[in-house]
Structures are given as C-alpha cells and as structure tokens.
Amino acid sequence: MTKAVFFDIDDTLLDTSSFADLARHAAIESMCNNGLPLEPDEAYDLLKDIIKEKGSNYSKHFNILTKEVLGKEDPLLVAIGMTTYHNVKFALLRPFPRTSAILIYLKSNGYKLGAITNGITIKQWEKLVRLNLYHFFDIVITSEEVGVEKPDPEIYLEACRRMACDVKKSVMVGNKLDIDCMGAVNAGMSAILVNSTLDEEEKERVNNEDIDIIVLDSISDVDTVL
C-alpha cells in the first residue's frame, strides 16, 4: 500500500490567520474612507461578530455589514471591501518557511501527498495554485465535497480510500490538536502537530494518554521525523 502524508492547508502550509486579519482591517479602512459611517475599530468589531456567526467561508460578510449599518446593502461599499480584502490577501499570501522544501523531500522519499481541509473546494485549490504548491498534491479533500468536516473520522477515511493507502500507514500534519490531529488519530492514522502552542492540559493529554501524535515547532521540522 502507498505511504501517504496528508496536510491541513490553513495555518499549516500558510499563515492564513495573520494575512486574513490584515486584509480585513484594510478592507474596513477603505469602506470607512468611502462612506461607511462608523469608526474603523467599531466597524471591524462588527465584522468580526458577523464572521463568528456566519463562519469564515461565508461569502457575504461585507453585504451583511452594510445592511446592519445602513439598513440596506450598499453594492459600492461591498465591492470596495471585497476588492481591498482580496488585493491585500493575495499580496501577503506566502507559504511558511521551508514548506516547499518539505514537500520536495517527502515526494523524493516516495510519499504520496494529499490535503484534508475544512473549506470551500475552489478557494482551497486557489491557495495552492497561488502558492505554486498544487503540483505536489495527488489529491485535495475538502469538507464541502465530502459533506463532513474534520475532526469527523470519515473525511480522513475517504482521503485514504481515494489515495488507495493504508490508514495505519498514513500521517496527518496539521496545526490544530483536536480538529486536525485527534480527528486523524481517531480514524486510525498517526499525526504531527505543527505551528501550534499547546497549553499545559493539552501537553498532558499528548504525553500521558499514549496518543500517536508528534509535536513539532513548525512545518519546517517535518523532515526530522519522516
């Protein structure tokens, strides 16, 4: 059976949280400068509440923002917000250091590579294309297409079926202990946690419960254990 390594995408291959936050701040600043009658900090707090309620993959955060502030959607302000957000986001989009080197190392050592991600299929592929990482991946599995999200074991099992690999010989690399790594372990895989800081309770869980999870400082260290 094929030996396989699966990666989460957001905050594992690239620093999604930081660039998204900066892009949203820039979008709000532009909207306020063009007539949204709120202070930028107030508007940003409202946007965060909308994102929390609707989820980060929802496509009409700025539509709701203008409707809540103005009583109706303002298409010009929505367009300004969306354009600024995407321009800033794509300008900042970068993989974490040594990400390409790690993927090359794994490929050269006979691993098949996949991605398992909670998100919209086209958006996740777009990130990989813009980062020029798409050609490393044999498959990309999203919650949108499978119908369940991590940490549901089914999304990991479906990835292994499509890759034709043994789940027990497969590894999941991600930045979230419960969502990425525990989900993989519960499906029968091993896992590597990267780019994450564990609190004392989480460290105790990993160390004392005989969980098949390796903790590394960053994705750049994956070649030290595989």
SS (H, E, C) the chain: CEEEEEECCECCCECHHHHHHHHHHHHHHHHHHCCCCCCHHHHHHHHHHHHHHHCCCCCCHHHHHHHHHHCCCCHHHHHHHHHHHHHHHHHHCCECCCHHHHHHHHHHCCCEEEEEECCCHHHHHHHHHHCCCHHHCCEEEEHHHHCCCCCCHHHHHHHHHHHCEEEEEEEEEECCHHHHHHHHHHHCCEEEECCCCCCHHHHHHHHHCCCCEEECCCHHHHHHCC
Q: Based on the domain organization, do 71 and 103 belong to the same domain? A: no
- What pLDDT is recorded for position 104? 97
- What pLDDT is recorded for position 2? 54
Q: Based on the domain organization, do 186 and 216 belong to the same domain? A: yes
| Signed CA dihedral, 62, 67, 69, 75: sign only | positive
Query: Number of structural domains, the chain?
Result: 2
Q: Based on the domain organization, do 59 and 162 belong to the same domain? A: no
Q: Based on the domain organization, do 28 and 110 belong to the same domain? A: no
- CATH number for the domain spanning 36: value is 1.10.150.520
- The torsion angles phi and psi of 148, rounded to 5 degrees, stand at -135, 155
- CATH number for the domain spanning 133: value is 3.40.50.1000
pTM exceeds 0.75:
yes
Q: How far apart are CA 200 and CA 191, in angstroms?
A: 19
Give me the domain span that covers residue 51. Answer: 16-92
Q: Based on the domain organization, do 114 and 169 belong to the same domain? A: yes
Domain closes at, from 68, 92, 116:
92
Q: Based on the domain organization, do 194 and 109 belong to the same domain? A: yes
pLDDT tens, position by position, for the chain (226 residues)? 559 999 999 999 999 888 889 999 999 999 999 999 999 999 999 999 999 999 888 889 999 999 999 999 999 999 999 999 999 988 988 999 999 999 999 999 999 999 999 999 999 999 999 999 999 999 999 999 999 999 999 999 999 999 999 999 999 999 999 999 999 999 999 999 999 988 888 888 888 777 899 999 999 999 999 9
Q: Based on the domain organization, do 69 and 112 belong to the same domain? A: no
Query: What are the beta bridge partners of residue 37?
Result: none
